[in-house]
């Protein structure tokens, strides 16, 4: 139905033809007050679908590609995440090689390459994995992994294509006897589909994957650099062998600290308590089970016959009912019954926290400090997803503070020069916070992160630290915080910060308080020692003068002087109950 | 090809059958180091597509639905944004009614309804607009609007469906003579498609749209409430009539302050300088123009025949070349030529900043203060998108500080009691920052926002304020910051904070400095006045005693005492050069 007059007859579907005919417009009416605006029909012509790739091309900052200096790091992160996930799932000790090379002599264009010794990827999946957003194996599975969205590596490829016009190059060899292939993959952003070619290559490797992306970027060292990211990666992943080659050809190796892979994580079914009404409705519709009782037991974790019966009884629905036949009211009751029933917490085999000893070992490897402490909380649940919070603290720069030797003697440690390798700041600077989610360092958006909010919200004055209002505490301290979960709620697709779910904030609070208390004991002891040391210094300083005066007055010999000095020191120290 | 042995033959596509046959595996090889892990083939079976709706259901915090207390506000925001955009595009003065009602006696479930007097929506589009993510009219157009993603209102509906199981209800009447319809819309999350029914209703209204969503929520007053959001909305949109009915039936009206609509914004074409290589490639492929010269002139803004020729010359490509026939190398050269050519800034008709007078008027309407100032910067460009930064400042709580009346006399204002309506904090509290993007208040994620970073990064000590390191300045002050742009880069789909693009941070810095300088003059004058006032108080306090002493010594009469007192005051004040 064309409408050149621009008048608002507007409904373009058949259902209204009749009505429209019945009350044919007798005068031109316009919805616009001043007559100059667009009509609903004009607006309707502009409505259209937005492809996922178009959306993220325009919003590339959501994926971590808002600036050239972030782009390289984000791409490395996504590729390394995938490599580590694949290696761990295949139970292979990861050996990862990261290379960043200039394209020609450019300071603006780089090739990022990440090569692993993982299980490879089958031919049919390679184009989808690297050339299609929202595609992957991790989204629908409830188990801890670094990737979870099916966006990251394709987004990196899309950014590369956007800024250089070059396709993504992927090599894959899924096993000793299989033929290595090289793929060239473009992303059709209007359709969000890959456009790939492949060829057989020589590749002297048993199995593995390599991805290369050309992209605009800016290579930097220091804070928020690829190097720092890899260093932090090594802290939280001591089982990984990492080799990094920078654009100048310098090679840095992060050696494996343990040859033990993290505990293998198992996929779990959803826990009934985390399921929202809409999801429950959908699960009921899609279930392959014929009875409600079987549905509850098969499609959820932690529901046995007894619990299933209890839920059905409370809901007033027969256990034999076909799950697809429940009406809306019955589903509401079922949801209420589930919420009102005690059900064992979900199995924790789906997550693999790092654990207190390895956190401390990791910190000791990379942060020199006087005192280390860690807290690994028991996993709990938000929206049905198990998660665990872990906190590690490294406190005190050797050299800045006092040290107590084993014999209890106080010695002043030699001042250490601070170099750029030192993660920890000075005594009058804000602490350094290092954040991790499923063993991946979170480098950007610190202020947007629930972890930061929890650290700021903790009263560190209780543990002997200074803390300006609404800010991080001050002191020579590194705070390590890790969340391990089957589903980490990130504040954006770039996975840089954790969203502030109440349950997560609460666990963070408790973990920080626990580590804080242990720290407090040490800090107070340190302060007491420091004050003792100062007093003792006074004694050391003044006693010779006092004794000298006594010698003059009493005319003592050397032996008597020495004895007086010792006695006086002993008396003074005793009076301070040391 | 089934592979029950689990061994990695792995390639499941035909292209490799030959190769596979040629080197038939003679021994079982496993990619796994310890033999216990998954193979590439096993992993491939788990790969699948993730629908946009599934993604956002699981990640609903990305859309602003992470907690019940945010949910209601986010839904209201999305609905009001759409209403205002539609009204303004149709050039209708907006009259918006927002209602939040309890479902039954529940304190956990609410119905949110937003009704407008806009142009309505044609029947065929209603289900898509409300029941499909990434669908809309605003994403592909370069003009300022509140909505831009085609996600918001469908996301609110999806959240409602997830938490209550209820469909979204929409009424629409696109014109006086058209038949009002009511729709019931469900979202099929696995497919991201609407499932809608509709019926004819009675609706006594010329034209408009109403959306009702049932959802889990928590109704709160005070900070970060629906009320506060609407109040801030009124500050930045004085042309809007808003009526809010809360769950207890209390009605708040925000009256229209002006009957003038904001300037009508025009859609522009992309500016050549903001176009990335990948986009240029795509535009060349999709252009309907037959020559490169026509392509440059027709598909971009600000390119005339001369500029087009200059670009072609620099690139070494003939202007008559078919845009689809350029090879990769030629496109690279074309991009370099575009970047090297001076091109007039994009037309600014696509954005509508608020302007200094209206910013001050808006602030005066809602914030009581001693001093108001505003800065509206000239629009500039990031990634080809024009944007303008505006800053307003309201400083000093009447009652807390001194006031100068028109005659220049200093009087102490009566202490005002602070009530919950006061946006401004006390003199020793951090300033209150209110952020806006395309006239929409940004209520959440303040710390993640580029605006906040820019305010913290400004040295407010230069303007007479205290400021702790890395924090907002301290003082009785409200800072209003607005970004108007054809494309606001938000840090997540919930549109709560602005991403830190360098060009935007720089403009924010300049705007804040400009407003800050104007503030500084006032603050310093205020400080001088305060110090004067204190001194004058001393005079007022001591002169009677001095005069009394003089009377006793010199034996003066009442008249002489009064005269001496006046003269003394005058002399003392003159000596301080007041």
B90 to A50: CB separation less than 8 angstroms, yes or no: no
Q: Cα(A200)–Cα(A399) distance, rounded to whole angstroms? A: 58
Q: Cα(B249)–Cα(B21) distance, rounded to whole angstroms? A: 77
DSSP string, B518-570: HHHHHHHHHHHHHHHHHHHHHHHHHHHHHHHHHHHHHT--HHHHHHHHHHHHH
**How many other CB atoms are there within 10 angstroms of residue B420's CB atom?**
10
pLDDT of B382 strictly over 80: yes
Kindly report the average pLDDT of chain A as a whole number: 84
Q: What SS3 class is residue B148?
A: coil
* Residues 460 through 519 of chain B touching chain A, CB cutoff 8 Å: 468-471, 487, 489-493, 497, 499-502
Instruction: Report pLDDT digits (tens) over A88-114.
Output: 999 999 999 999 999 988 889 999 999
Mutate to test the interface with A, among B2, B29, B39, B40 (most CBs of A within 10 A): B40
Instruction: Report pLDDT digits (tens) over B82-124.
Output: 999 999 999 999 999 999 999 988 889 999 999 999 999 999 9
pLDDT at A61: 87
**Is A3's Cβ below 8 Å from some Cβ in B?**
no
Are the C-beta atoms of A387 and A484 separated by less than 8 Å?
Answer: yes
* Nearest CB partner across the interface for A52, out of B40, B54, B134: B134
Q: What SS3 class is residue A398?
A: strand
Q: Mean pLDDT over residues B266-280, rounded?
A: 89
* Nearest CB partner across the interface for B119, out of A40, A276, A497: A40
Strands (DSSP E) contained in A305-396 are 371-376, 380-382, 385-395
More confident residue, B158 or A422: B158
Q: Could you tell me the pLDDT band of residue B45, with boundaries at 50, 70 and 90?
A: confident
Instruction: Report pLDDT digits (tens) over B503-552.
Output: 999 999 999 999 999 999 988 887 776 676 666 666 667 777 777 777 77
pLDDT at B576: 55
Q: Cα(A560)–Cα(B289) distance, rounded to whole angstroms? A: 109
Q: Could you tell me the pLDDT band of residue B402, with boundaries at 50, 70 and 90?
A: very low
* Residues 215 through 244 of chain A touching chain B, CB cutoff 8 Å: none
**Is B330's Cβ below 8 Å from some Cβ in A?**
no
* Nearest CB partner across the interface for A89, out of B38, B121, B490: B38
**Is B109's Cβ below 8 Å from some Cβ in A?**
no
* Nearest CB partner across the interface for B38, out of A38, A90, A430: A90
B277 to A61: CB separation less than 8 angstroms, yes or no: no
Q: What is the DSSP letter of B91?
A: T
**How many other CB atoms are there within 10 angstroms of residue B555's CB atom?**
8
Strands (DSSP E) contained in B180-271 are 181-188, 193-200, 208-216, 241-245, 251-254
**How many other CB atoms are there within 10 angstroms of residue B241's CB atom?**
18
B89 to A15: CB separation less than 8 angstroms, yes or no: no
pLDDT of B561 strictly over 50: yes
pLDDT of B192 strictly over 80: yes
B36 to A264: CB separation less than 8 angstroms, yes or no: yes
More confident residue, B268 or B5: B268
* Chain-centroid distance, C-alpha B64: 14
Q: What SS3 class is residue A378?
A: coil
Kindly report the average pLDDT of chain B as a whole number: 84
* Residues 297 through 316 of chain A touching chain B, CB cutoff 8 Å: none
Lowest mean pLDDT: which of A204-213, B426-435, B485-494, B527-536? B527-536
A31 to B471: CB separation less than 8 angstroms, yes or no: no
Q: Mean pLDDT over residues B238-244, rounded?
A: 94
pLDDT at B11: 31
**Is B447's Cβ below 8 Å from some Cβ in A?**
yes
* Shortest distance, CA B227 to any CA of chain A (angstroms): 23
* Nearest CB partner across the interface for A8, out of B174, B198, B331: B174
pLDDT at B413: 38
Q: Cα(A224)–Cα(A77) distance, rounded to whole angstroms? A: 12
Closest CA to A98 of A3, A287, A258, A227: A227
Q: Mean pLDDT over residues B45-54, rounded?
A: 84
Q: Cα(A167)–Cα(B213) distance, rounded to whole angstroms? A: 44
Q: Could you tell me the pLDDT band of residue A409, with boundaries at 50, 70 and 90?
A: very low
How many pairs of residues across A and B have Cβ atoms under 8 Å apart? Answer: 373
Q: Which residues of A touch B175 (CB under 8 A)?
A: 7-10, 29-31, 39-40
B50 to A140: CB separation less than 8 angstroms, yes or no: yes
**Is B150's Cβ below 8 Å from some Cβ in A?**
yes
CA dihedral in degrees (B329, B332, B333, B334; nearest 10)? 120
Closest CA to B213 of B130, B125, B108: B130
| Residues sharing a CB contact under 8 Å with residue A514, sequence separation 6 or more, in sequence order | A375, A377, A391
Q: Mean pLDDT over residues B450-462, rounded?
A: 96
* Chain-centroid distance, C-alpha B545: 61
pLDDT of B16 strictly over 50: no
Instruction: Report pLDDT digits (tens) over B319-377.
Output: 999 999 998 889 999 999 999 999 998 888 899 999 999 899 888 887 888 899 999 99
- Residue where the block lists tokens 């002191």: A475
**Is A175's Cβ below 8 Å from some Cβ in B?**
yes
Instruction: Report pLDDT digits (tens) over A280-337.
Output: 988 998 899 999 999 999 999 999 999 999 999 999 999 999 999 998 889 999 999 9
Closest CA to B31 of A94, A123, A148, A80: A94
pLDDT at A139: 84
Q: Which residues of B touch A432 (CB under 8 A)?
A: none
Q: Which residues of A touch B13 (CB under 8 A)?
A: 123-124
Are the C-beta atoms of B58 and A151 separated by less than 8 Å?
Answer: no
Instruction: Report pLDDT digits (tens) over A339-348.
Output: 999 999 888 8
Q: Mean pLDDT over residues A419-438, rounded?
A: 78
Lowest mean pLDDT: which of A46-55, A240-249, A384-393? A46-55
pLDDT at B36: 66
Phi, psi of A195 (to 5 degrees): -135, 100
Lowest mean pLDDT: which of A434-438, A488-492, B458-462? A488-492
Q: List residues bridging with B22 in a β-sheet.
A: none
A91 to B37: CB separation less than 8 angstroms, yes or no: yes
* Nearest CB partner across the interface for B177, out of A29, A41, A261: A29
Q: Cα(B576)–Cα(A286) distance, rounded to whole angstroms? A: 86
pLDDT at A538: 66
**Is B140's Cβ below 8 Å from some Cβ in A?**
yes
Q: Mean pLDDT over residues A254-275, rounded?
A: 89
Q: Could you tell me the pLDDT band of residue A4, with boundaries at 50, 70 and 90?
A: very low
Q: Cα(A180)–Cα(A57) distance, rounded to whole angstroms? A: 31
Does the model's ipTM exceed the 0.95 cut?
no
- Residue where the block lists tokens 């007053």: B221
Q: Which residues of A touch B33 (CB under 8 A)?
A: 91-93
Closest CA to B119 of A14, A27, A8: A8
* Nearest CB partner across the interface for A47, out of B125, B176, B277: B125
Q: What is the DSSP letter of B347?
A: P
pLDDT at B279: 87
Could you give the angle at which helices B450-457 and B502-554 cross, rounded to 10 degrees? Answer: 40
pLDDT of A205 strictly over 50: yes
Are the C-beta atoms of B142 and B269 separated by less than 8 Å?
Answer: yes
**Is B46's Cβ below 8 Å from some Cβ in A?**
yes
**Is B194's Cβ below 8 Å from some Cβ in A?**
no
pLDDT at B523: 87
Q: Cα(B376)–Cα(B392) distance, rounded to whole angstroms? A: 8
Residue of chain A with shortest Cα separation from B429: A469
Q: Which residues of A touch B36 (CB under 8 A)?
A: 91, 264
* Residues 67 through 106 of chain B touching chain A, CB cutoff 8 Å: 67, 86, 88-93
* Nearest CB partner across the interface for A448, out of B140, B149, B447: B447
Residue of chain A with shortest Cα separation from B27: A177
Mutate to test the interface with B, among A28, A122, A193, A472 (most CBs of B within 10 A): A122
pLDDT of B52 strictly over 50: yes
Are the C-beta atoms of B28 and B10 separated by less than 8 Å?
Answer: no
pLDDT of B3 strictly over 50: no
Q: Which residues of B touch A470 (CB under 8 A)?
A: 430, 471
Instruction: State the distance between the two ends of chain A, measured CA to CA, in whole angstroms.
Output: 97
More confident residue, B165 or A401: B165
Lowest mean pLDDT: which of A445-449, A495-499, B426-430? B426-430
Q: Could you tell me the pLDDT band of residue B439, with boundaries at 50, 70 and 90?
A: very high
pLDDT of A458 strictly over 70: yes
* Chain-centroid distance, C-alpha A394: 20
* Shortest distance, CA B542 to any CA of chain A (angstroms): 41
B135 to A50: CB separation less than 8 angstroms, yes or no: yes
* Nearest CB partner across the interface for A37, out of B58, B90, B190: B90
Q: Could you tell me the pLDDT band of residue B140, with boundaries at 50, 70 and 90?
A: confident
B9 to A175: CB separation less than 8 angstroms, yes or no: yes
Could you give the angle at which helices B277-286 and A152-164 cross, rounded to 10 degrees? Answer: 70
Q: Cα(A440)–Cα(B226) distance, rounded to whole angstroms? A: 37
* Nearest CB partner across the interface for B50, out of A23, A43, A135: A135
* Shortest distance, CA B209 to any CA of chain A (angstroms): 11
Q: What's the angle, vertex CA B448, arms to CA A75 and CA A221, rounded to 5?
A: 40
pLDDT at B10: 31
Instruction: Report pLDDT digits (tens) over A22-80.
Output: 333 333 334 444 456 888 888 888 888 888 888 888 888 888 898 888 999 999 999 99
More confident residue, A187 or A545: A187
**Is B33's Cβ below 8 Å from some Cβ in A?**
yes
B35 to A140: CB separation less than 8 angstroms, yes or no: no
Q: List residues bridging with A115 in a β-sheet.
A: A97, A210
Q: How many residues does chain B have?
A: 578
pLDDT at A371: 92
* Shortest distance, CA A404 to any CA of chain B (angstroms): 34
């Amino acid at each position: 139905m064309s409408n050149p007059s621009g008048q608002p007859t507007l409904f373009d579907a058949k259902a209204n033809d009749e009505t429209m005919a019945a009350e044919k417009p007798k005068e031109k009416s316009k919805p616009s007050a001043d007559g100059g605006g667009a009509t609903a029909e004009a607006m309707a012509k502009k409505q259209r679908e937005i492809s996922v790739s178009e959306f993220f091309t325009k919003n590339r900052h959501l994926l971590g590609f808002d600036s050239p200096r972030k782009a390289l790091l984000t791409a490395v992160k996504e590729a390394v995440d995938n490599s580590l996930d694949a290696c761990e799932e295949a139970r292979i000790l990861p050996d990862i090689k990261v290379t960043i090379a200039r394209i020609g002599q450019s300071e603006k264009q780089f090739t990022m390459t990440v090569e692993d010794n993982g299980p490879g990827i089958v031919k049919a999946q390679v184009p989808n994995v690297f050339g299609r957003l929202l595609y992957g194996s991790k989204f629908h599975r409830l188990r801890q992994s670094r990737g979870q969205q099916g966006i990251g590596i394709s987004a990196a490829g899309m950014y590369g294509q956007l800024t250089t016009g070059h396709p993504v190059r992927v090599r894959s060899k899924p096993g000793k006897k299989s033929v290595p292939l090289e793929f060239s993959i473009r992303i059709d952003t209007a359709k969000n589909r890959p456009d790939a070619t492949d060829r057989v290559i020589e590749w002297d490797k048993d199995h593995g994957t390599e991805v290369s992306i050309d992209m605009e970027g800016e290579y930097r060292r220091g804070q928020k650099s690829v190097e720092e990211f890899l260093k932090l990666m090594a802290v939280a992943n001591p089982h990984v062998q990492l080799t990094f080659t920078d654009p100048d050809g310098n090679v840095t190796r992060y050696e494996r600290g343990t040859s033990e892979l993290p505990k293998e994580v198992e996929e779990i079914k959803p826990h009934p308590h985390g399921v929202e009404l809409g999801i429950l409705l959908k699960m009921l519709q899609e279930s392959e089970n014929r009875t409600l009782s079987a549905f509850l037991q098969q499609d959820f974790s932690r529901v046995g016959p007894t619990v299933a019966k209890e839920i059905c009884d409370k809901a007033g629905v027969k256990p034999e009912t076909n799950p697809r036949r429940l009406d809306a009211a019955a589903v509401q009751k079922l949801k209420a019954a589930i919420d009102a029933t005690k059900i064992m917490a979900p199995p924790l085999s789906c997550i693999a926290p790092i654990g207190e000893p390895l956190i401390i070992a990791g910190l000791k490897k990379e942060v020199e400090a006087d005192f280390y402490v860690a807290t690994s909380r028991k996993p709990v649940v938000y929206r049905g997803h198990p998660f665990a919070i872990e906190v590690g603290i490294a406190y005190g720069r050797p050299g800045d503070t006092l040290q107590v030797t084993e014999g209890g003697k106080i010695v002043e440690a030699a001042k250490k020069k601070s170099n750029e390798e030192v993660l920890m700041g000075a005594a009058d600077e804000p602490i350094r916070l290092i954040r991790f989610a499923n063993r991946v360092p979170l480098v950007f958006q610190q202020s947007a992160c629930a972890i930061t909010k929890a650290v700021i919200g903790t009263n560190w004055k209780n543990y002997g630290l200074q803390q300006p209002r609404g800010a991080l505490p001050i002191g020579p301290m590194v705070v390590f915080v890790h969340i391990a979960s089957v589903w980490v709620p990130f504040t954006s697709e770039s996975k840089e910060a954790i969203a502030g779910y109440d349950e997560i904030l609460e666990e963070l609070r408790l973990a920080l308080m626990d580590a804080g208390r242990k720290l407090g004991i040490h800090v107070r002891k340190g302060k007491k020692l420091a004050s003792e040391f100062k007093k003792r210094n006074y004694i050391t300083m003044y006693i010779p003068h006092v004794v000298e005066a006594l010698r003059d007055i009493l005319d003592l010999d050397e032996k008597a002087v020495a004895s007086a000095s010792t006695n006086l020191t002993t008396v003074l120290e005793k009076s301070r109950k040391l």
